[in-house]
Every structure is written in C-alpha cells, then in structure tokens.
Chain A
Amino acid sequence: MGVSSYLDLRAATRARDRSLRDKVMSLEEAAKLVTSGEHVALGGCTASRTPFAMIWALIRAGVTDLTVSRSIISTEGDLLYASGASRHIMTSWFSQGIVWGVSKVMRAYTESGRARFEEWSHMAMGLRYRAGAMGVPFMPMRSMLGSGVLDRAEGAKTLECPFTGETLLLVPALNPDVALIHVQRCDAYGNAQLDGLTFMDIDMAMAAKRVILTTERIVSNEQIRRAPDQTKIGFFTVDAVVEVPFGSAPHECYGLYEPFYSHMDLYAEMTAKDPEAGAQAYLERFYHEPTNWAGYLERIGMAELLDARRRGSSIYDD
C-alpha cells in the first residue's frame, strides 16, 4: 500500500463538500459510498466500538477485495475473510480476544494462503494513521527494529537520523479511502462526541479520504455547541451519518453496553470444529437472513442485549 501523493491528497480534500450540511442516511445508502477494492479503516479496538453495523451492511451489499486496516481486529476480521469482503487485513493483532484463543477462521484463511494478514506493531499502526492525519509521508519511531515484524512490513524503512546518527524506523502514512467509526453521539453534520477510550479514531478520521459515522443516537447541533470541547471528530471530515442503536453489538460501546459475552462464546463454538463452515453458517444466520439491523439484534436476543446494557451502564456506579 503506497503512500498517497501529497498534492493528490490535498486536492481530494479540497474537492469534498466540507460545508455544514445534513449527512444523515441509512446503512444501505452509506454502504454505497464504499467501492470494492478500496482501503477501509475500522475504528475502535478489539471488542470496543467496532463499527459492526456498517461492516454488516457492507457484507450484505456484497463488496469484495477491500484492504482493511485496524489497530487490533477481532471477529469482524474473520467475517470479512469468510464473506470475501476482504482478503487483506493490516493490523497488530487478530483474534476474537485472548480468552477465546487463536482465531480458527483467521488460521484457516491465512495458513492456506487465501487471505493475507499483514502484521505491524500496534504503535506502527497508530503512527501510520497519525502521519496520514498530519499530511506527512511517514513518522519516525523506535520500535519494530531488529524484529521479524519489520522484515515483513511492506514499505517500512530504516534511516540514520540526520541529527543524532541513531537508527530510526520510518513507517509510511496511511490515508484510508474510507474510515468506518462508531460513536456514542453526533449531530446530523457529523460532529462526534466520544466517551471513554478513543483508540486511533481521531487520527483515522483526519487521515481518511471519507468517513462514515454510525452513532448510537443523533443529537442536535445545539447540544454539540454546548460542549464543543467534547467534540473529537469534526463535521468537516465526515461524509455520512447513520443512526444505529447498538451499532457495535456484539462488542461494547463505552458507557452504554459491554461486550455480549454469551454471543461471543456462541461464535467461538460455531467456528470451533469446522471454522469455515461455522463462519458461513454464522454469516447466513446473523448477516443475510435478518431483513434489518433490528432483526440482527433480535437474533442475538433480548436477554443478551439487556444484560450487556446493564453491565455497560454500571461501570461508574461506585
């Protein structure tokens, strides 16, 4: 994945409609903003604020051959491989979560050479998005040096520092075609206020050429303007706003719901014996058969949803 030309990047930004305008649309309409073969960055990390509703919509829309990047990728990586939506994922860690062990679906696709898992260190992923956000072609850093990860990292280079003579690593900027980010609340223009952990999302939004926000709820612009210090992603980076309650289920959304642990156990069980068939069965049952997002949540189940909400909203009850 090469570094974008600076002038091309600027021109693309200048060509966007950056006015304060209503960007609210449906999941299906937003899915049409993503084209097969593009680089899609996913906000959140591991089991937190994963943009599952948008991933669900893209898989249903039948997009293929995306290059997908994320800080740490969980089950959505399995499903992107299994659906054919992506055969190339860039991340620092890939599995549902340490308590569920190594992803058998990831193993099946990567060990057979049918999909690529391009590994970078966590900080390298972060600094690659940051370089993209800053409009510079790379960032210098001091890890990955000497490791096998560096040997396999496409585009990373070492440099003798012109100031100190030290060996530094330069990691190339990432300017994703699209970033998918799930937030607690934003207005119709895309001013997003994030609670809790922000992961790499702020840099990702600035780096991306387009941003699709899914949000637990849409609030008024007046409410945003009452606390502009809480706005972490600015409207000028955002192209689409989709209101999707429980939009990161079965993962958590800080302060609102925790991960749906029983459902994550179910996924692990379904993919334990025959990972590929299990992932296909999961996609059929939870992605293709429901007619809308509410139908997906119904399949996960009301008891799970209420339990995740109860746990999620009691985090600061002491």
Chain B
Amino acid sequence: MTTDLAHAGLARADLGVAPAAPAHTASELLAVMSARLLREGQTVFAGVGIPLLAAILAQRTHAPGLTILFEGGVIGPFVEPGKLPPSTNEQRCTRRANMLVSITDVLLMLQRGYVDVGFMGGAQIDRYGNLNSSFIGDADAPKIRLPGTGGGNDIASLADMIVAMKHEKRRFVEKVDFVTSPGFLRGGSSRADAGLPAGGMFRVVTDLGILGFDPESRAMMVLALHPGVSAETIRAHTGFPLPVPDDVAVTEPPTAGELAILRELDPARLYTA
C-alpha cells in the first residue's frame, strides 16, 4: 500500500488529532468512516459523491464482493480510479458491471427487498433522520429551491440507510423544512404507520462522529465520536438535543492506506476537496 501522501503526518488542528494520524479533509473522513460500515457480501444502493467513493473504498479494502447498485440502472460495477462519473447515469458508472437494467427496474429491486443498504449524502437532516433536498424555507415560497429527491426518496423509503454529511448546526435541525426522503418521520411507529414498514435510518456518518437512532423513540443519538471530538463539540454543532453516552466509543482515524485509495480514485478532488 502506498504511503505517498503529501500531507501525511500533519495534525488536523481544528479537531486536535494526534500528529501521528495522516491529515485528511472532512470529505475523506466521511468516506472512510462510511466505507467501514459496509460489509462483505452486501448489496448497497449508492448515490454519487461520498457514497460512491465509500462503496468503492470498501470494495478495495475489506469488502471485495460488495455489490454496488446505481440508480441509472447498473448492477455490480467497478468504477475506474480517476474516472468518477458526474452522476449515477453515465457510462463511467457501468464499467465491469454484471448487468444493466432500466432505472425503474433497478429501483424496483429496492421495493422487492434485494438491497441491504441505501447510502446517500444529505443537505439537511432532523432528529428523526428525515432528509431535505427540496426546499429551504416554505415550500410555497422557498428561499432556495434545491434540486429535489432524485432516487433519494425511494432509497430512504425502502432500504436501511447510511447518510454521510458534514456536521453543521444549520444542517442538523430540529425539524427539516421539507421531508424529501423519509427517516422515522415523527418518531415511534410513525414511519410504519405511513405505509413504510421496511427500511429506515441505520447510521448517519459525519465529520464529528457516527450517529444511530434509539430503537423506541427513533431519535438520533451518538454512537461514536471521531478522535479529538468532545460531546460538547458535537452537541454545539447540532440543532436539537443529542444524547451522548458517557462511555461513548472513539473511532480509529483514517489510515494512510485508506486515504491513498481515495486519492487514487479522486485525483481531481471532485468529491473529496
């Protein structure tokens, strides 16, 4: 494994990482921590950006048999390093795939139950894991019209979800302006009651830690913090009360090997800047 990393060994000042850990961007941290959640043999439905990078990283480390699905209609590709696609709908997504199907048919694989993990990024999330990628402000008179759901709503409705996103107070809000992709809706059994008996939020991976959801209330809680991140810090970056266990786990920082793979995959820093 190459260790030819320009910034290896430099401390990440804002998080106070020990000098021995290789320096990395927040996006690289998200990709590494997310990749580690994927298991060999799983089928993962991945969005473009960090989810795509993380899924490829997992393929190239501990999960060589990971099957990636893209909403463009791709089953089991191996994306070529340095040729990341601009969306999940271009020919770069299809390299060495097992099968190409229509968009509708690959999404129906979610509904049929063939997908272990849905994996996407998020713009705004709330306490119950609901995601907004449609409107900032009132949907009838929005401050910002965002691009919309794409396959996000379908994936979040039908799979166990991993969401990777930057941990900022404006992104972690008490209640999203608009539920584009459903998490646990209003908590408790409200998701199942709405007609979504399967799937739901599994993990939220951020640059501060890894979060899960209480099995009863379905509210977000901290499962692990990244090295150098305190409970106070993660709470300060969250717009709702966030439980942090006293004996909270601490993640292992990205290794030089993991970072080297990411930089080989994305040399132009399209998604890891």
A residues neighboring B (CB under 8 Å):
45-48, 71-72, 91-95, 97-99, 102-103, 106-107, 110-111, 113, 117, 119, 121-124, 126-127, 129-130, 141-149, 152, 158, 166-169, 196-203, 252, 254-255, 258-259, 261, 312, 315-316, 318
Which residue from chain A places its CB closest to the CB of B191 in the assembled complex?
Answer: A146
Besides A121-B151, A198-B73, A202-B102, 18 other A-B contacts (C-beta < 8 A): A48-B91, A92-B151, A98-B49, A99-B270, A99-B271, A103-B147, A117-B148, A123-B107, A123-B110, A123-B151, A129-B104, A143-B154, A144-B157, A145-B196, A147-B179, A152-B139, A200-B102, A254-B91
CB nearest neighbor in B for A110? B145
Q: Which of B96, B146, B149 contacts A122 (CB 8 A)?
A: B149
Interface string of B228-269 (1 = CB under 8 A from A): 000000000000000000000000000000000000000000
Asked if A149 and B86 make an inter-chain contact with CB atoms under 8 angstroms apart, the answer reads: no
Chain A residues, CB < 8 A from B87 = 45-47, 72, 97-98
Q: Determine chain B's interface SS by DSSP, over half rule.
A: loop
Which residue of B is nearest A161, CB measured? B195
The answer to whether B111 and A141 touch across the interface, beta carbons within 8 angstroms, is yes
* CA A165 to CA B143, docked complex, whole Å: 40
Please tell me which stretch of B32-40, B55-63, B180-188, B211-219 contacts chain A, meaning at least 4 of its Cβ atoms lie within 8 angstroms of it.
B180-188
List of B residues within 8 angstroms of A148 by Cβ: 134, 139, 178-180
Question: What residues on A are CB-neighbors of B104 within 8 Å?
Answer: 123, 126-127, 129-130, 200, 203
Given A111-B142, A142-B196, check contact A252 B91 (CB 8 Å): yes
Asked if B194 and A167 sit within 8 Å, CB to CB, the answer is yes
**In the assembled complex, which residues on chain A have CB atoms less than 8 Å from the CB atom of B143?**
111
Which A residues are CB-close (under 8 A) to B71?
A: 122
Contacts of B270 in A (CB 8 A): 99
Question: Does B74 lie at the interface of the complex (its beta carbon under 8 Å from any beta carbon of A)?
Answer: yes
Known A92-B150, A143-B111, A148-B134: A255·B102 in contact at CB below 8 Å: no
CB distance from A216 to the nearest CB of B (A): 14
B10 at the interface (CB under 8 A from A): no
- The reply to whether A71 and B149 contact each other, CB–CB distance below 8 Å, is no
Asked if B90 and A259 make an inter-chain contact with CB atoms under 8 angstroms apart, the answer reads yes
Determine whether the beta carbon of B153 is less than 8 Å from that of A143: yes
What's the nearest-Cβ distance from chain B to residue A192, in Å?
Answer: 15
Choose among B101, B145, B197 the residue that contacts A107 (Cβ–Cβ < 8 A).
Answer: B145
Known A123-B154, A127-B104, A198-B73: A146·B182 in contact at CB below 8 Å: yes
Instruction: Say whether B151 contacts A169, CB under 8 Å.
Output: no
Are A95 and B147 in contact (CB-based, < 8 A)?
A: yes
CA–CA, A95 and B61, complex, Å: 33
Closest to A158 in B: B195
Complex: chain B residue closest to A119, CB-CB: B148
Residues A93 and B100 in contact, CB atoms below 8 Å apart: no
Does residue B95 face the partner (Cβ distance < 8 Å to A)? yes
In the complex, A169 Cα to B111 Cα: how many Å?
13
Q: Mark B85-111, 1 if CB is under 8 A from A, else 0.
A: 011011111111000111110011011
Q: List chain A residues, Cβ under 8 A from B141.
A: 113
Q: Report yes or no: B149 in contact with A121, Cβ–Cβ below 8 A.
A: yes
User: Which residues of B sit under 8 angstroms from A168, Cβ to Cβ?
Assistant: 195
Closest to A261 in B: B86
Do residues B86 and A97 form an inter-chain contact, with CB atoms below 8 A? yes
Contact B195 A117 (CB under 8 A): no
**Contact of B134 with A48 in the complex, beta carbons under 8 Å:** no
Contact A111–B144 (Cβ < 8 Å): yes
Contacts of A199 in B (CB 8 A): 72-73, 89, 102-103
Q: Is the CB of B111 within 8 A of A46?
A: no
| Chain B residues near A117 (CB-CB < 8 A) | 145, 148
A-B contact pairs, 25 of them (CB 8 A): A46-B72, A47-B89, A72-B87, A93-B150, A95-B147, A102-B144, A111-B145, A122-B107, A124-B154, A126-B107, A129-B104, A142-B158, A143-B110, A143-B157, A146-B190, A148-B139, A149-B153, A149-B179, A196-B94, A197-B72, A197-B73, A197-B94, A197-B100, A315-B91, A315-B92
- Contact between A147 and B148, CB atoms less than 8 A apart: no
Asked if residues A146 and B148 are in contact (CB atoms below 8 Å), the reply is: no
Q: Which of B24-57 contact A (CB under 8 A)?
A: 48-49
A200, B86: Cβ atoms closer than 8 Å:
no
A145 touches B195 (CB 8 A): yes
Contact B72 A45 (CB under 8 A): yes
- How near does chain A come to B198, taking the closest CB pair, in angstroms? 8
Kindly state the separation between the CA atoms of A142 and B182 in the bound complex, as whole angstroms: 12
Using Cβ atoms and an 8 Å threshold, which residues of chain A touch B110? 123, 143
Given the known interface contacts A99-B270, A122-B149, A146-B191, the answer about A196 and B100 at a Cβ–Cβ threshold of 8 Å is yes
- The reply to whether A197 and B74 contact each other, CB–CB distance below 8 Å, is yes
Q: Report yes or no: B149 in contact with A106, Cβ–Cβ below 8 A.
A: no
